[in-house]
Amino acid sequence: MPQKYSPEFKTRALELTKERIRTEQCSGWVACTAVGEALGGTYRSWRSPRTQHR
């Protein structure tokens, strides 16, 4: 079962991802992977269920 993360954690993670894409001009996948590893999770585990691909 996936871990539950607070809305604040998810918001911060997404802000960090956007910032990384902007400053490093990397792909979304690279930014998500790096931020997820830095925060101790994975992008898939902290993004909203509405945005998950099936």
Burial class (CB in 10 A: 0-12, 13-18, 19+), 5: middle
Q: How far is Cα 30 from Cα 35, in angstroms, rounded to an integer?
A: 9
- Residue with token string 């792909």: 27
**What average pLDDT does this structure show over 36-42?**
79
Rounded-to-10 torsion of CA 37, 25, 5, 42? -40
pLDDT tens-digit map of 3-27: 677 889 889 988 999 999 999 999 9
The pTM for the full model equals 0.66
Query: What does the pLDDT average to over 35-47?
Result: 71
36, 42 contact by CB (below 8 A) = yes
